[in-house]
Structure 1
Amino acid sequence: MPFIEESDLLDLHKDIEKSQIINERLLDQVGFKNKDLRKLRIQRNVLAGITLVFLLLTFGFWAFFSGLRTSNEFRGQEVLAEAEDSINSFRTRINFLKERNEELSLVKEFYLAKEFLEKEKIYSVQVKSFVENNATLASEALTNTLFVKTNPFYAYSLGNFETLEEARRFRKQLVNMGFKDAFVASYQDGKRVKIEDPF
């Protein structure tokens, strides 16, 4: 089996870490967006209530004054025009809130999908196995590395992938680098389920 430079391995792990950091940032954004979504829903409901009360009061005043005095008909039209302007501004605000709600829904869907995938099967590319636990191969700075005991061996795998196809592409890259014995294995709850077909 060829020798891999530690710098190459660190570069691979840095790429994997970057994707993890991005995922963590997205999860943080989901948390903030969910808070914003709750606030926006409350604002929207309060705004709708205020709008309804305002419209009813405006219509009531308009009806009252236009029914009692015909001379105040012009004034009623002004109030109605102001009410229409208010309604248009509220509609604009509601449309904006709807757009924000759609954006937050997309982020929430990503978060829920990610949470679901964490409970599902993942795929990793095993590059080496040892009879003894040789933990010195894995630096604590490296992430997306699996070190699993598969009796009587300790398996060393790189990458955590949601789909088998992603893991196969990564395996192909490792084979091209000289890891001819690398293979894809599936894991669930930290235990290897099976060795997958490489093609």
Structure 2
Amino acid sequence: MPFIEESDLLALHKDIDKAQIINERLLDQIKFKNKELKRSKIQRNIFAGITALFLVGILAITSFTAGYTSSNKIDDPNLVVASLDSLKIVESRINNLKRQNEELSLVREFYLAKNFLEKQKIYSVQIQSFVDNNVTLASEALTNTLFVKTNPYYSYSLGTFETLEEAQEFRKQLVSMGFNDAFVASYQDGKRLQIEDPF
């Protein structure tokens, strides 16, 4: 029958706790982004519907006024100016919808990149550990931050880098800002692999 050391068992429990915390944070971030995506999609659909109705109305008014003008031979320059202003409004709305589409594409690309990074070895700079989870300054929207629970500590790291050199350079910048205890650690699949050489 296999035997497991108590320290190994404790380390396994720590790894499980870390993975659970990371998974919970990722799920919260995904829920938050999904709500944003749904809201943006609804807004986009509403704007598209309003724009379509507006264009139909403009076409109806234009065809009515064109028929009225040609039959009565009235040359009113204000009718043309009003139509051009309406077209500018429609063009502005279309540009706004294009911008929102680009933002949604960037969010999608972010999640694809995040999924890829979780499979790769990454580096981050740990700046602090606390006994209590008292980081009210951290927001769920911080996507370039790692919060890892290592019993009984909560560790906070900044940055996700593909190379050790990038992380070491970022650590130097943090040290120059006063984070003297900052160090570089490597992670893969949400687990810390090791503490890296700071230089």
TM value normalised by structure 2? 0.48
- Given the two structures, how large is their TM-score scaled by the length of structure 1? 0.48
